[in-house]
Amino acid sequence: MLKGSLLWKIKSRRRQKERLYRLQEDGMTVWFESRFQRARSKQIFSILHIEGVREGYQSEGLRKYGGAYPEKQCLTIVFRGRRKNLDLAARSEEEAQRWVRGLNKLMAKVEAMSQREKLDQYPFLRPADKNKDNKMSFEEIKDMLKMINIDMNDMYASKLFKECDKSSNKRLEEQEIEEFCTRLMKRPELEELFHRYSGEDCVLSAEELVEFLKDQGEEASLAQAHRIIQTYELNEKGRHNLMMLDGFMMYLLSTDGDLLRQEHTQVYQDMSQPLCHYFISSSHNTYLTDSQIGGASSTEAYVRAFMKGCRCVELDCWEGSNGEPVIYHGHTLTSKILFRDVIESIRDHAFKHSSYPVILSLENHCGVEQQAIMARQMRAILGDMLLTQTLDGQVPTELPSPEQLKGKILVKGKKLPDLGSDPENMSFLSEEEEEEEEERVLQRDGRRVKDAMQISQELSDLVMYCQAVPFQGLEHALRNQQACEMSSFSERKARKLIKESGNSLVRYNARQLSRIYPLGLKMNSSNYNPQEMWNAGCQLVALNFQTPGWEMDLNQGRFLVNKRCGYVLKPSFLRSHQASFDPESGRGPGPRAIKLEVKVITAQQLPKLNEKKNSIVDPLVRVEIHGVPADCSKKETEHKLNNGFNPRWNQTLQFKLRVPELALVRFVVEDYDTTSPNDFVGQFTLPVTSLREGYRHIHLLSKDGASLSPATLFVRIKTQQRGGQDQPPGAGAGPSNAWSPHPAMPDLRWEMALGSGGTQLPRA
Using the predicted structure, report yes or no on whether residue 446 has a pLDDT greater than 60. Answer: no
Percent of the chain with pLDDT over 90: 57
For helices 188-198 and 206-216, the axis angle rounded to 10 degrees is 110
Q: Is 672 annotated as a binding residue?
A: yes
Give dist(CA 714, CA 323) in Å, integer: 58
- Give me the chain's average pLDDT, please: 84
For helices 154-164 and 174-184, the axis angle rounded to 10 degrees is 130
Give dist(CA 231, CA 424) in Å, integer: 68
Mean pLDDT along residues 643-668? 95
Using the predicted structure, report yes or no on whether residue 230 has a pLDDT greater than 80. Answer: yes
Q: Is 343 annotated as a binding residue?
A: no
Could you report the per-residue pLDDT of 320-334, keeping only the tens digit for each?
A: 988 899 999 887 888
Return the exposure string of 120-155: e unless at least 16 CB atoms fall within 10 Å of the residue's CB, then b: ebeebbeebbeeeeebbbbebbbbbbbbbbbbbeee
Question: Are the beta carbons of 227 and 243 closer than 8 angstroms?
Answer: no
Q: Is 69 annotated as a binding residue?
A: no
Active-site positions read 284, 329
Question: Are the beta carbons of 682 and 711 closer than 8 angstroms?
Answer: yes
pLDDT at 42: 55
For helices 368-382 and 339-349, the axis angle rounded to 10 degrees is 30
pLDDT at 707: 86
**Chain center to CA of 3:** 36
Mean pLDDT along residues 735-750? 41
pLDDT at 562: 98
490 pLDDT band, cuts 50/70/90, is very high
Among residues 61, 518, 549, 487, the alpha carbon closest in space to that of 292 is found at: 518
Question: Are the beta carbons of 53 and 87 closer than 8 angstroms?
Answer: no
Using the predicted structure, report yes or no on whether residue 730 has a pLDDT greater than 50. Answer: no
Could you report the per-residue pLDDT of 155-197, keeping only the tens digit for each?
A: 767 888 888 888 888 888 878 887 887 787 788 999 999 999 9
Mean pLDDT along residues 87-93? 94
Give dist(CA 410, CA 391) in Å, integer: 12
DSSP state of 570: P
**Helix H or strand E encompassing 701:** strand 694-701
DSSP state of 351: T
HEC profile of 35-48:
CCCCCCCCCEEEHH
Number of H helices and E strands in the chain, helices first, is 21, 29
Q: Is 278 annotated as a binding residue?
A: no
Beta strands in 513-580 (DSSP E): 514-517, 540-543, 567-569
More confident residue, 439 or 584: 584
Mean pLDDT along residues 206-234? 91
**Helix H or strand E encompassing 494:** helix 491-509
pLDDT at 178: 78
Using the predicted structure, report yes or no on whether residue 688 has a pLDDT greater than 80. Answer: yes
Question: Are the beta carbons of 402 and 356 closer than 8 angstroms?
Answer: yes
- Structural domains in the chain, CATH included, are 5-112 (2.30.29.30), 125-184 (1.10.238.10), 188-257 (1.10.238.10), 275-574 (3.20.20.190), 594-752 (2.60.40.150)
Among residues 371, 283, 320, 273, the alpha carbon closest in space to that of 569 is found at: 273
Could you report the per-residue pLDDT of 597-646, keeping only the tens digit for each?
A: 999 999 998 988 876 556 788 999 999 999 999 999 999 999 999 888 88
Using the predicted structure, report yes or no on whether residue 58 has a pLDDT greater than 50. Answer: yes
Collapsed DSSP state (helix, strand, coil) of residue 85: coil
Q: Which amino acid is at 320?
A: G
Q: 606 pairs with which residues across the strands?
A: none
Give dist(CA 216, CA 298) in Å, integer: 47
Give dist(CA 164, CA 156) in Å, integer: 13
Could you report the per-residue pLDDT of 519-544, keeping only the tens digit for each?
A: 866 667 889 999 999 999 999 999 99
pLDDT at 27: 81
In angstroms, the Cα distances linking 310 to 178, 307, 348 are 45, 7, 15
Q: Is 379 annotated as a binding residue?
A: no
149 pLDDT band, cuts 50/70/90, is low
Could you report the per-residue pLDDT of 8-21, keeping only the tens digit for each?
A: 999 887 767 888 99
Q: 654 pairs with which residues across the strands?
A: 597
560 pLDDT band, cuts 50/70/90, is very high
Among residues 559, 643, 549, the alpha carbon closest in space to that of 603 is found at: 643
More confident residue, 293 or 124: 293
Alpha helices in 66-219 (DSSP H): 93-112, 115-120, 125-128, 138-147, 154-164, 174-184, 188-198, 206-216
pLDDT at 591: 67
Using the predicted structure, report yes or no on whether residue 701 has a pLDDT greater than 70. Answer: yes
| Size (the chain), residues | 764
Mean pLDDT along residues 215-233? 90
Question: Are the beta carbons of 414 and 455 closer than 8 angstroms?
Answer: yes
Could you report the per-residue pLDDT of 187-213, keeping only the tens digit for each?
A: 899 999 999 999 888 899 999 999 999
Using the predicted structure, report yes or no on whether residue 121 has a pLDDT greater than 80. Answer: no
Mean pLDDT along residues 381-409? 94
Alpha helices in 350-424 (DSSP H): 368-382
Question: Are the beta carbons of 78 and 49 closer than 8 angstroms?
Answer: no
Among residues 758, 751, 730, 762, the alpha carbon closest in space to that of 658 is found at: 730
Using the predicted structure, report yes or no on whether residue 423 has a pLDDT greater than 70. Answer: no
Mean pLDDT along residues 71-93? 90
In angstroms, the Cα distances linking 761 to 155, 182, 192, 537, 643 are 11, 14, 16, 49, 9
pLDDT at 764: 32
DSSP state of 762: P
Following DSSP, what letter does each residue of 268-292 receive, concatenated?
Answer: -S---S-GGGEEEEEESSTTBSS-T
Q: How many other CB atoms are there within 10 angstroms of residue 736's CB atom?
A: 8
For helices 188-198 and 245-253, the axis angle rounded to 10 degrees is 110
**Chain center to CA of 320:** 35
Question: Are the beta carbons of 452 and 428 closer than 8 angstroms?
Answer: yes
More confident residue, 566 or 396: 566
**Which pTM does this prediction carry?**
0.84
Using the predicted structure, report yes or no on whether residue 396 has a pLDDT greater than 90. Answer: no
Give dist(CA 124, CA 146) in Å, integer: 10
Per 3-state DSSP, what percentage of the chain is helix, strand, and coil (rounded to 5)?
A: 35, 25, 45
Q: Is 363 annotated as a binding residue?
A: yes
Following DSSP, what letter does each residue of 664-679 receive, concatenated?
Answer: EEEEEEEE--SSSPPE
Question: Are the beta carbons of 396 and 449 closer than 8 angstroms?
Answer: no
The DSSP bridge pattern shows strands 44-46 and 50-55 to be unpaired
Q: Which amino acid is at 203?
A: V
Collapsed DSSP state (helix, strand, coil) of residue 65: helix
